[in-house]
Chain A
């Protein structure tokens, strides 16, 4: 195979890996949207918050130490050596559940019958609040996150692919980050688990009932509010997974919350209510972005990734205002 073609394959593979990450965040969006019609802009910040909490617990950081020190003139930073990873992850999950509960109690309960766009803006406010809160609690510096997943390029893949290249060409193999590979595997497991959960458990069926018909679900005696808490907890869990993957890859930092912005075009492609849509959309955006960067980027000075996804979404919407899997909007009066 010619090196050009192998490079192309590498770009696509890397795009797929990035796409999986996007899909992971988009998945959190879809879950909440399906069950409550809320477009949760805070999903990205929830991932950041989860990752921050995880690192904090893992390293034994003192919450609010910055604030405490500033107020009392103390110099506290840690309360101990930190928790083992598994325990830290479980504790973080507990924190995300508490968070879901609080959000329902303080925010959602009061916005039940508002228009979607108002709810959307409320979640933007929520995102800001949570960002400030996370920073206040754990500090805003970039933190490395290590949960024991392998990182770095795969030498095996490099060797194998080098041997594929046409003899004599200067090709040194593909670079695929093993972390991306584990992320992809975990994402796939997560999707399967969620599907099983929603198909085969009572709670899952209740969730789908709500998604299909709020009125019907209520009449069966499912409390809408507990459903919301459950859904937000589940997307808190998805956020935690996404936070771990992104955090392990590029450190836990503010830019993590920006993946929420990238998840928006993913959702536009995939539709807001379709789990397969979120995944396909994520993959399309991931691959498209990487290909654009590799092949259009050099012609126009690079950084095409910054806007490519949004332009694709925009162009796409012009032809299908309801998204790839969304239902056709029929207007009536």
Chain B
């Protein structure tokens, strides 16, 4: 009855469970990583850092987080902006209270604080489902932003109500503050995103990930076969919020340098990240990156073409951008609900068979 020899199991299945089972894909991945870690830091300048690379990394992190909750566990959240704010303010409080603390630790702790808040706001998901839940998460969005506006403790009583990131270093190199070199902030974000993308991959291919997907696909059956809804949903909210909190911390401390809650963490950010996840591909790690890249790079490109190339006014470009984003959401939901990640998969299959279809 067994079709493989017993001794061969672990090696076969371990190989089977690799992230990149195809060799050429594995090479491609590691080449890209080598390029990102070893070459890009030497090329990056201020413009690329602030307009392209750091935004890309921050939004990738946020999209990973929301994809865990929405794509893998099926719980739609419109509170992403609010949770990013939690990460940002936790980061600010930690930076100012413990100036000596390593920024890696600060950012990870900020994620931890956000995870805790996310769990609290995730509790209603045990009773509330579908878009009822989506509406309930709006409570988190608006309440959190409000509280950061109203409680002076969060912004250390600063007169403007803003939070401003002081300069903090890692191994003597500044990664926050005005004088931080572009390569350092880039590498800092890249390292975090790399590590946590790998963690996300591990979580989603294991038992926890399967319990999330089971809840997503059919929650009643999931419970009947032994998934604890409480554990699955709350862990998804916690892990997801952790990522979004880390994204918020980086967004504020590394990218913006200063932030004001209503502007920086509004509901439009919640939608933006949701769109990234939809366009990229629900339930796909790669999709989170593709979606983030698409929605970060498209405006840059549009701006360069329309404002730079055709010298249109910026507001016109902004209207067209909004239209395009909205149109694309509809397009993807209709034509390819699995997003860019699925397009990539199909392309790969074509390439693998090329030049001999069949």
- Whether, in the assembled complex, A306 has its beta carbon less than 8 Å from a beta carbon of chain B, the answer is yes
- Whether, in the assembled complex, A265 has its beta carbon less than 8 Å from a beta carbon of chain B, the answer is yes
- Whether, in the assembled complex, A185 has its beta carbon less than 8 Å from a beta carbon of chain B, the answer is no
- Whether, in the assembled complex, B325 has its beta carbon less than 8 Å from a beta carbon of chain A, the answer is yes
Residues 76-127 of A at the B interface (beta carbon under 8 Å) = 106-107, 110-111, 114, 116-118, 120-122, 124-127
Q: Is the CB of A129 within 8 A of B124?
A: no
Q: Is the CB of B323 within 8 A of A121?
A: no
Q: Is the CB of A318 within 8 A of B127?
A: yes
Q: Is the CB of A303 within 8 A of B128?
A: no
Q: Is the CB of A125 within 8 A of B142?
A: no
Which residues from chain A contact B150 at a C-beta distance below 8 Å?
A: 300-303
Say whether chain A's binding surface is mostly helix, strand, loop, or mixed. Answer: helix
- Whether, in the assembled complex, B36 has its beta carbon less than 8 Å from a beta carbon of chain A, the answer is no
- Whether, in the assembled complex, A67 has its beta carbon less than 8 Å from a beta carbon of chain B, the answer is yes
Which residues from chain B contact A132 at a C-beta distance below 8 Å?
A: 319-326
Q: Is the CB of B328 within 8 A of A311?
A: no
Which residues from chain A contact B333 at a C-beta distance below 8 Å?
A: 111, 114, 118, 121-122, 125
Partner pick for A128 among B310, B329, B337, CB 8 A cutoff: B329
Measured in the bound complex, the distance between the Cα atoms of B168 and A64 in whole Å is: 48
Query: Which A residue's beta carbon lies closest to that of B82?
Result: A307
Measured in the bound complex, the distance between the Cα atoms of B320 and A106 in whole Å is: 19
Partner pick for B139 among A118, A302, A313, CB 8 A cutoff: A313
Query: Which A residue's beta carbon lies closest to that of B132?
Result: A317
- Whether, in the assembled complex, A140 has its beta carbon less than 8 Å from a beta carbon of chain B, the answer is yes
Partner pick for A66 among B132, B316, B330, B337, CB 8 A cutoff: B316
Total interface residues on A, using CB and 8 Å? 51
Which residues from chain B contact A300 at a C-beta distance below 8 Å?
A: 150
Query: Which A residue's beta carbon lies closest to that of B332?
Result: A125
CB distance from B79 to the nearest CB of A (A): 10
Measured in the bound complex, the distance between the Cα atoms of B271 and A257 in whole Å is: 14
Residues 306-348 of B at the A interface (beta carbon under 8 Å) = 310, 312-313, 315-316, 319-330, 333-334, 337
- Whether, in the assembled complex, A135 has its beta carbon less than 8 Å from a beta carbon of chain B, the answer is yes
- Whether, in the assembled complex, A220 has its beta carbon less than 8 Å from a beta carbon of chain B, the answer is no
CB distance from A222 to the nearest CB of B (A): 25
- Whether, in the assembled complex, A264 has its beta carbon less than 8 Å from a beta carbon of chain B, the answer is yes
Q: Is the CB of A117 within 8 A of B139?
A: no
CB distance from B122 to the nearest CB of A (A): 12
Q: Is the CB of B323 within 8 A of A136?
A: yes
- Whether, in the assembled complex, B146 has its beta carbon less than 8 Å from a beta carbon of chain A, the answer is yes
Which residues from chain A contact B128 at a C-beta distance below 8 Å?
A: 317-318, 321
The verdict on A303 contacting B138 (CB below 8 Å), with A132-B320, A317-B128, A318-B124 known, is no
- Whether, in the assembled complex, A261 has its beta carbon less than 8 Å from a beta carbon of chain B, the answer is yes
Measured in the bound complex, the distance between the Cα atoms of B324 and A133 in whole Å is: 9
CB distance from B267 to the nearest CB of A (A): 7
Measured in the bound complex, the distance between the Cα atoms of B142 and A47 in whole Å is: 23
Measured in the bound complex, the distance between the Cα atoms of B317 and A71 in whole Å is: 12
Partner pick for B136 among A106, A117, A140, A313, CB 8 A cutoff: A313
CB distance from A126 to the nearest CB of B (A): 6
Measured in the bound complex, the distance between the Cα atoms of B151 and A300 in whole Å is: 9
Query: Which A residue's beta carbon lies closest to that of B328?
Result: A125
Partner pick for A317 among B124, B278, B310, B316, CB 8 A cutoff: B124
Measured in the bound complex, the distance between the Cα atoms of B143 and A102 in whole Å is: 37
Q: Is the CB of B136 within 8 A of A129?
A: no
Measured in the bound complex, the distance between the Cα atoms of B331 and A206 in whole Å is: 31
- Most chain B beta-carbon neighbours within 10 Å: one of A118, A120, A125, A267: A125
Residues 131-158 of B at the A interface (beta carbon under 8 Å) = 131-132, 134-136, 138-139, 141-143, 145-146, 149-150
- Whether, in the assembled complex, B99 has its beta carbon less than 8 Å from a beta carbon of chain A, the answer is no
- Whether, in the assembled complex, B192 has its beta carbon less than 8 Å from a beta carbon of chain A, the answer is no
Q: Is the CB of B329 within 8 A of A121?
A: yes
Binary A-proximity of B217-245 (CB < 8 A = 1, otherwise 0):
00011001000000000000000000000
Given contacts A128-B329, A132-B322, A133-B323, 17 further A-B contacts (CB under 8 A): A66-B315, A70-B310, A70-B312, A106-B330, A114-B333, A121-B278, A128-B323, A129-B322, A140-B315, A261-B267, A267-B135, A302-B150, A310-B141, A314-B139, A318-B128, A333-B220, A333-B224
Chosen A-B contacts, 11 in total, with CB atoms closer than 8 Å, are A110-B334, A111-B333, A116-B130, A124-B274, A128-B323, A132-B322, A264-B138, A306-B142, A307-B143, A310-B142, A318-B124
